[in-house]
């Protein structure tokens, strides 16, 4: 839920300089035209600021190259359409070289800050798009902390359903005012909470965007938070239940080896290719004698099993999805994060305080007893992505791409598959749905990026692929644009894993394929080369 926010502080530095496609406007004239937006009158909207940002050329210093950016008009607005509703919107408008495209971006976690969309906006500006984001109306919340929203149901609704449409309508109106014409195309990109925002657009506001790219979308919001709480509770059930970094590495190594022996991975790969098909029981690591870093105690086995199973009822039936074999890592936002208290509480636990009050204590939470109350109060407000149909979006020939890392430990990959299969069943099958919507599953990738698998294929998250991002074979946003503009449906995206911090050296490249197809090794040639893999049906 937080990777886009984690990258936000670096977002402006990721903007690559791009030559304008039209004659440059004099800086004084551009600044005057930008400042004039400060007096723009829009319903329920106040323009907080409208400032001209001069272009900056790329420069090479002793520390390396600092990317530049084109000049743009930066506008910040607030929309207050109802009591207790206050939705922040920010838009960057290229002064020269606008391509006629409006680009909306998602946020992360509980949002509350505009910076959560900056990485995507940086990429949009590089492409010559008018590019916008929203704080989802949840300020003064922050991505990891939502306590400020206790007692504010309208803000829950803005966060769960309304704010992205408000951003889109407001952003398009400001774009029209600045350029004197409507955008000819509209695209949306976002991951995690931003992924949920994009799905809401496709399901309930199908006319807003021509193409929508969403990663790791939070589909069932209440149970997504419940899964994190379930893991945290399992890890803190007894003093010996916590899984140390050494134990997580042990689990990960054993899971990869087990899945490889079952035929769900390749020898030498540090990830599992098909974790859905793998069966791994952490009990195989149970200590036979004294506890050590080379085995798991019974309490640690119980914790690992809880992580894999996900929330489970007392009768043993699964309530939600668990994490997949190969996802066990001590990395940032991995299994260690799920075990680590934030201000003494489970990550993202604020949502439960909206229901039970500021004094809620996670230690007394009973899933069978308490989740029905959570779903009854919040489900109709924040779980809209579990309902709705893509029918209207498909009928207007909109294009939707969903991607999800199979080693994700913040948003369960299984729910993206379930969403896609539900929509396919409602619209006539996978073959029919894939004319307008495709799902790409990335082995070894964590939440929105990172992990041991190839993860560089989406420039909107500040993770530039290789070759350059305009190549639709290697950049998933460029693939979406090609699908919308030229009807070139993406049959595979080549993802890159870099072996160096500066991304100058490539460790491997591997295709990710549209579901249900999978990348299968041809049987000859290097497994580090994407050209030696085929996307084949299961």
How confident is the model at residue 64, as a pLDDT?
A: 58
Question: E strand or H helix at 222, and its extent?
Answer: helix 221-235
Question: Is 533 contained in some domain?
Answer: no
Q: What is the mean pLDDT of residues 170-176?
A: 98
Question: Out of 103, 165, 225, 447, which one is annotated catalytic?
Answer: 447
Confidence class for position 148, pLDDT limits 50, 70, 90: very high
pLDDT tens digit sequence for 379-392:
999 999 999 999 99
Neighbours of 475 (CB within 10 A): 26
CA distances from 427 to 105, 268, 389, 394, 430 (A): 27, 40, 9, 9, 8
Q: What is the mean pLDDT of residues 493-518?
A: 91
Question: Out of 192, 241, 273, 350, which one is annotated catalytic?
Answer: 192
For the beta sheet containing 45-53, the strands, ordered from the edge strand earlier in sequence to the opposite edge, are 45-53, 72-79, 87-94, 130-134, 101-105, 185-191, 211-215, 399-405, 437-442
Q: What is the mean pLDDT of residues 45-70?
A: 81
| pTM for the predicted model, two decimal places | 0.93
Q: Is 447 a known active-site residue?
A: yes
Out of 382, 397, 419, a domain closes at: 382
Out of 351, 382, 413, a domain closes at: 382
How confident is the model at residue 379, as a pLDDT?
A: 97
How confident is the model at residue 296, as a pLDDT?
A: 98
**How many residues are listed for the chain in this entry?**
538
Question: Is 462 contained in some domain?
Answer: no
Question: Is 456 contained in some domain?
Answer: no
pLDDT above 70 coverage of the chain, percent: 94
Encode burial over 91-129: b for 16+ CB neighbours within 10 A, e otherwise. bbbbbbbbeebbbbbbbbbbbbbbbbbbbbbbbbbbbbb
pLDDT tens digit sequence for 402-417:
999 999 999 999 999 9
Same domain, 111 and 151: yes
Q: What is the mean pLDDT of residues 479-495?
A: 97
How confident is the model at residue 277, as a pLDDT?
A: 97
Q: What is the mean pLDDT of residues 251-262?
A: 98
Same domain, 44 and 175: yes
Confidence class for position 354, pLDDT limits 50, 70, 90: very high
Asked whether residue 7 carries a pLDDT value surpassing 60, the answer given is no
Q: Please, which residues bridge with residue 512 across strands?
A: 493
Question: Is 58 contained in some domain?
Answer: yes
How confident is the model at residue 500, as a pLDDT?
A: 75
How confident is the model at residue 20, as a pLDDT?
A: 34
Query: What tokens were used for 449?
Result: 């990026």
pLDDT tens digit sequence for 174-232:
999 999 999 999 999 999 999 999 999 999 999 999 999 999 999 999 999 999 999 99
Question: Out of 408, 416, 475, 478, which one is annotated catalytic?
Answer: 408
Same domain, 154 and 284: no
Asked whether residue 525 carries a pLDDT value surpassing 70, the answer given is yes
Residue 236, classified by CB atoms within 10 Å of its CB into exposed (0-12), middle (13-18) or buried (19+), is middle
Question: Is 45 contained in some domain?
Answer: yes
Same domain, 230 and 174: no
How confident is the model at residue 28, as a pLDDT?
A: 86
d(CA 419, CA 291): 42
Same domain, 153 and 256: no
CA distances from 413 to 320, 340, 443, 459 (A): 11, 22, 11, 21
Q: Which domain holds residue 238?
A: 223-382
How confident is the model at residue 14, as a pLDDT?
A: 32
Q: For the chain, what is the mean pLDDT?
A: 92
- The closest of 80, 92, 81, 87 to 37, measured between CA atoms, is 92
How confident is the model at residue 66, as a pLDDT?
A: 65
How confident is the model at residue 26, as a pLDDT?
A: 78
Asked whether residue 397 carries a pLDDT value surpassing 50, the answer given is yes
Same domain, 235 and 158: no
Q: What is the mean pLDDT of residues 319-344?
A: 92
Confidence class for position 358, pLDDT limits 50, 70, 90: very high
Same domain, 261 and 361: yes
Question: Is 68 contained in some domain?
Answer: yes
Catalogue the E-assigned strands of 335-380: none
Asked whether residue 372 carries a pLDDT value surpassing 50, the answer given is yes
Asked whether residue 472 carries a pLDDT value surpassing 60, the answer given is yes
Question: Is 421 contained in some domain?
Answer: no
Asked whether residue 96 carries a pLDDT value surpassing 60, the answer given is yes
Same domain, 9 and 102: yes
Confidence class for position 311, pLDDT limits 50, 70, 90: very high
Confidence class for position 139, pLDDT limits 50, 70, 90: very high
Same domain, 241 and 136: no
How confident is the model at residue 6, as a pLDDT?
A: 38
Q: What is the distance, to the nearest Å, from the Cα of residue 435 to the centroid of all Cα atoms in its chain? A: 23
Q: Please, which residues bridge with residue 386 across strands?
A: none
How confident is the model at residue 9, as a pLDDT?
A: 33
How confident is the model at residue 499, as a pLDDT?
A: 87
Q: Are 521 and 533 in contact (CB under 8 A)?
A: yes
Out of 347, 382, 417, a domain closes at: 382
d(CA 55, CA 72): 7
Number of domains in the chain: 2
How confident is the model at residue 65, as a pLDDT?
A: 62
Confidence class for position 5, pLDDT limits 50, 70, 90: very low
Confidence class for position 63, pLDDT limits 50, 70, 90: low
Q: Please, which residues bridge with residue 73 across strands?
A: 52, 93
Q: Please, which residues bridge with residue 520 across strands?
A: 534
Same domain, 183 and 266: no
How confident is the model at residue 19, as a pLDDT?
A: 31
Q: What is the mean pLDDT of residues 21-45?
A: 84
CA distances from 288 to 238, 245, 251, 300 (A): 20, 21, 16, 14
- The closest of 435, 432, 443, 445 to 401, measured between CA atoms, is 435
- The closest of 293, 298, 262 to 279, measured between CA atoms, is 262
Q: Is 502 a known active-site residue?
A: no
How confident is the model at residue 67, as a pLDDT?
A: 67
Same domain, 67 and 172: yes
Q: What is the mean pLDDT of residues 94-111?
A: 97
Q: What is the mean pLDDT of residues 16-25?
A: 41
Question: Is 276 contained in some domain?
Answer: yes
Confidence class for position 441, pLDDT limits 50, 70, 90: very high
DSSP letter, residue 344: T
Same domain, 257 and 376: yes
How confident is the model at residue 422, as a pLDDT?
A: 97
Q: Is 158 a known active-site residue?
A: no
Highest mean pLDDT among 59-73, 410-424, 452-466, 488-502: 410-424
């Amino acid at each position: 839920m937080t990777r886009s926010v984690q990258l936000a502080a670096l977002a402006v530095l990721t903007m690559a300089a791009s030559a304008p496609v039209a004659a440059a406007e004099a800086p004084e004239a551009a600044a005057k035209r930008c400042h004039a937006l400060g007096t723009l009158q829009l319903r329920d909207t106040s323009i907080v600021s409208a400032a001209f940002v001069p272009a900056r050329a790329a420069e090479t210093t002793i520390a390396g190259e600092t990317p530049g950016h084109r000049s743009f008009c930066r506008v910040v607005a607030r929309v207050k359409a109802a009591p207790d509703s206050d939705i922040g919107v920010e838009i960057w408008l290229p002064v020269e070289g606008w391509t006629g495209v409006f680009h909306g971006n998602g946020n992360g976690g509980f949002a509350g800050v505009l910076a959560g969309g900056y990485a995507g906006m940086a990429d949009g500006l590089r492409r010559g798009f008018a590019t916008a984001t929203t704080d989802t109306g949840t300020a003064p919340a922050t991505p990891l902390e939502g306590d400020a929203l206790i007692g504010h149901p309208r803000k829950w609704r803005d966060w769960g359903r309304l704010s992205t449409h408000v951003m889109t309508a407001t952003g398009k109106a400001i774009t029209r005012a600045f350029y004197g014409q409507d955008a000819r195309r509209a695209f949306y990109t976002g991951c995690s909470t931003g992924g949920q925002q994009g799905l809401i657009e496709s399901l309930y506001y199908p006319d807003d965007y021509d193409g929508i790219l969403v990663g790791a979308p939070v589909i069932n919001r209440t149970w997504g938070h419940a899964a994190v709480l379930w893991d945290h509770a399992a890890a803190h059930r007894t003093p010996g239940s916590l899984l140390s970094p050494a134990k997580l590495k042990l689990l990960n190594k054993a899971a990869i080896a087990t899945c490889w022996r079952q035929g769900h991975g390749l020898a030498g790969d540090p990830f599992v290719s098909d974790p859905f098909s793998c069966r791994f029981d952490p009990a195989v690591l149970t200590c036979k004698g004294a506890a050590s870093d080379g085995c798991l105690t019974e309490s640690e086995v119980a914790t690992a099993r809880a992580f894999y199973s996900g929330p489970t009822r007392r009768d043993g039936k699964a309530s939600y999805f668990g994490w997949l074999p190969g996802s066990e890592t001590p990395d940032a936002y991995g299994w260690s994060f799920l075990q680590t208290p934030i201000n003494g509480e489970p990550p993202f636990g604020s949502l439960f305080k909206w229901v039970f009050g500021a004094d809620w204590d996670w230690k007394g939470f009973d899933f069978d007893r308490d989740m029905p109350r959570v779903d009854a109060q919040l489900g109709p407000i924040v779980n809209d992505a579990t309902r709705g149909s893509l029918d209207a979006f498909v009928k207007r020939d909109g294009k939707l791409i969903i991607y999800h890392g199979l080693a994700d430990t913040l948003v369960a990959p299984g729910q993206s598959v379930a969403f896609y299969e539900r929509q396919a069943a409602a619209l006539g099958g996978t073959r029919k749905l894939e004319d307008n919507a495709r799902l790409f599953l990335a082995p070894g990738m964590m939440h929105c990026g990172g992990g041991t698998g190839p993860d560089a294929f989406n420039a909107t998250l500040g993770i530039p692929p290789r070759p350059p991002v305009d190549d639709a074979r290697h950049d998933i946003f460029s693939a979406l644009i090609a699908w919308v503009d030229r009807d070139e449906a993406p049959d595979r995206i080549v993802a890159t894993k870099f072996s160096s911090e500066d991304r100058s050296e490539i460790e491997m490249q591997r295709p990710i394929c549209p579901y249900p197809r999978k990348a299968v090794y041809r049987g000859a040639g290097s497994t580090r080369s994407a050209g030696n893999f085929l996307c084949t049906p299961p």
